[in-house]
Amino acid sequence: MQTIRQLKPLRKAIAGLRADGGKVAFVPTMGALHVGHMALVAEARKRAPHVVASIFVNPKQFGPNEDLAAYPRRAAKDSAMLSEAGVSVLWMPEVEVMYPTGHATNVSVAGVSEGLDGAARAGHFDGVATVVAKLFNQVRPDIALFGEKDFQQLAVIRRMVADLDFGIEIVGVPTEREEDGLALSSRNVYLSEEERVQARSLPRALGAAAATIEGGGDVAEALAKAEASLLEGGFQSVDYVALCDAATLQPVTALTAPARLLAAARIGKARLIDNVAVTPRDETRKGPLAR
């Protein structure tokens, strides 16, 4: 695996991969890799002969009171994991390379970015869209893979790619979970042992609400019960619990089309997010990871 930190060598390496023939699949990350990231790499290897990964902790997507300085960084371990997984190129630029002096362009995606985390974290998705647009222009992949755990992020990227004619296939990969259902996340390392036990109330609350809604229960009551369950389960606060259209992320009050139940809540030093699919009765369930 080549580890590259400057743009010219990156483009030379990508050209070399393409000279060998076949597509290039791209897995962008912020490091602190776990099984969920490795699932993205594994899926990328199924879809293309060459896999490029990136590690870049993007300052533009962190708010002034968020955890940029504390965000876990472990480049050596992450690099070893990617190399063992068969990644061809690791793109790991410094901030000065990604945002050189004079950088003045930001990408903003309206609509899908405006509620949920977009409302709770002002400017977050502008930072996400800007860095992903730059990464796409730097790596120029045929396919890019993102986890469904960050479902709103995935929707923002899909909208941006369609609107700006990137010509990249965007693949959403189902969320990897612990045995008790907790979604794998780099921020789980912030949890104490007690908080880790309490955190399992998040997937349980979402699963119960989804079952209620799919069974014809009142949406507003199901959402309120899920929020109460989180607070009773140990979370200090809930940013949102919402049922949204799976494509547009617009809030819905009745289940008439495929939807997504999304939540964000704070426990200790961590802000955890999660989501599950919610499917109308006449839709065919596509297996356990659809939930």
User: What digits encode the pLDDT tens for the residues 127-140?
Assistant: 999 999 999 999 99
Read off the pLDDT of residues 213-255 as tens digits, 9 standing for 90 and up.
999 999 999 999 999 999 999 999 999 999 999 999 999 999 9
Provide the pLDDT for residue 16.
Answer: 95
Q: Give which of 62, 60, 64, 55 is closest to 5, Cα–Cα.
A: 55
Residue 290 has pLDDT above 70, yes or no: no
Is 103 known to be catalytic? no
d(CA 204, CA 192): 19
Q: What is the pLDDT of residue 149?
A: 96
pLDDT for position 102:
97
Q: Which fold has domain 2-173?
A: Rossmann fold (3.40.50)
Say yes or no to pLDDT of 258 above 90.
yes
* CB-CB contact of 24 with 48 (8 Å): yes
Q: Please enumerate in sequence order all residues whose Cβ is within 8 A of that of 257, keeping only pairs 6 or more positions apart, or say none.
A: 245, 246, 280
Tokens of 97: 């390379």
- In a 13 Å sphere around the CA of 136, the CA atoms on its Cβ side amount to 22
For residue 248, the 8-state DSSP code is T
In the set 34, 37, 103, 124, the catalytic residue is 37
DSSP 76: H
Going across the sheet that includes 2-4, the strands are: 2-4, 89-91, 50-55, 24-29, 143-147, 169-173
Q: What is the pLDDT of residue 283?
A: 58
CATH superfamily of 186-278: Pantoate-beta-alanine ligase, C-terminal domain (3.30.1300.10)
Res. 201: pLDDT tops 60: yes
The 3-state DSSP class for residue 181 equals coil
Report, as an integer, the average pLDDT of 61-66: 81
How buried is residue 162: exposed, middle or buried, by Cβ count under 10 Å (0-12/13-18/19+)?
Answer: exposed
Instruction: Please state the pTM of the whole predicted model.
Output: 0.91
In this structure, the strands spanning 169-173 and 143-147 are parallel
Q: Which residues contact 146 (CB under 8 A, 6 or more apart)?
A: 28, 40, 153, 154, 157, 170, 171, 172, 173
- In the predicted model, is pLDDT for residue 285 greater than 50? no
Cβ neighbourhood burial of 46 (10 Å; 0-12, 13-18, 19+): exposed
**What mean pLDDT is reported for the chain?**
94
Q: Is the dihedral of CA 154, 156, 162, 168 positive or negative?
A: negative
Q: Can you give the pLDDT at residue 286?
A: 47
Angle formed at CA 70 by CA 1 and CA 82, multiple of 5 degrees: 15
pLDDT in tens, 23-42: 999 999 999 899 999 999 99
Please say whether the beta carbons of 151 and 260 come within 8 A: yes
pLDDT of residue 2: 97
pLDDT at 289: 39
pLDDT for res 291: 40
Domain with CATH 3.30.1300.10 in the chain: 186-278
Q: What percent of the chain has pLDDT over 90?
A: 88
- Distance (Å, rounded) from C-alpha 236 to C-alpha 150? 21
The pLDDT, as a whole number, for residue 284 is 45
Confidence of residue 66 (pLDDT cuts 50, 70, 90): confident
Count of Cβ atoms closer than 10 Å to residue 176 Cβ: 19
Short-list 28, 50, 3, CA closest to 173: 28
* Average pLDDT, integer, range 47-65: 92
Within the chain, all domains assigned CATH 3.40.50.620 are found at 2-173
